[in-house]
Amino acid sequence: MSTLDGVTDLADDLSLLRDLERRLLVYKFAIEELMTKLRILSEEFDYVHRHDPIEHITNRVKKPEGILEKLRRKGLPLEPDLIGDHLDDIAGVRVICPFVSDVYRVSAMLARQHDVDVLLTKDYIATPKPNGYRSLHLIVRIPVFLSDRVEHVKVEVQLRTIAMDFWATLEHKLFYKYDDRPPADFVDELMSSALIAAQLDERMESLHRRIHQDDR
Ligand code: 0O2
């Protein structure tokens, strides 16, 4: 590649990044709408049932550099117009719940809303990933009302318990060090830690059920 090609590539990348930045605004709005929905569910359920099914919520819009990197890695066209078609996780919301039953409860309450379209469900709690990763993933589509149009925007919603989040957060930190190739004993250790986290969830769920029964 000549120096000039390098400069042209860089200029292309910069204009692509700027174009992407502009398009990402609508994903920020979609997250804000979803956050409002989840906060309402959390507060109202707590008021009625004296139990808040949501511990906390985080969110993020993928950075333009991250979007370009993922499109390149997957061999997809670098077309700002098509990013929404190719990537489901440009907007991401992570809902941390106290108990496994809350994960399914929040997911069902969200799915029942008329303006929420659930496009895809991946239940890694019923079927954990081979490394032990557990969470419930939904790809939802919600309308965002802009000044001159309505856009239907995809958001990836990850729902998990505190124990699942503890494991996933630390696994993410540890795994990166090994550049996708951790040694076998490391994999075993992660897997057995995931099982301990799952047992903890079961035990806490059973305590929760007992206390809930005593309330009646
Ligand atoms: P980040 O930094 O959290 O955004 P794809 O999304 O198409 O690349 P896939 O396999 O279809 O891949 O998506 P999947 O399985 O629904 O997982 C996507 C996201 O779930 C990941 O996003 C992670 O946030 C989380 N996740 C999935 N598997 C694991 C795992 O084994 N460990 C941890 N800690 N998190 C996981 P990103 O983009 O990889 O990362």
What's the pLDDT tens digit per position in 153-199?
999 999 999 999 999 999 999 887 676 677 888 889 999 999 999 99
Residues with catalytic roles: 156
The pLDDT of residue 196 is: 97
Name the closest-CA residue to atom 40, ligand 1: 172
The answer to pTM > 0.75 is yes
At 109-166, the pLDDT tens digits run 999 999 999 999 999 999 999 999 999 999 999 999 999 999 999 999 999 999 999 9
Residue 173 Cα to ligand 1 middle (Å): 13
Measure 137 CA to ligand 1 centroid, in angstroms.
Answer: 9
The residue type of 192 is S
What domains are defined for the chain? 3-162 (3.30.460.10)
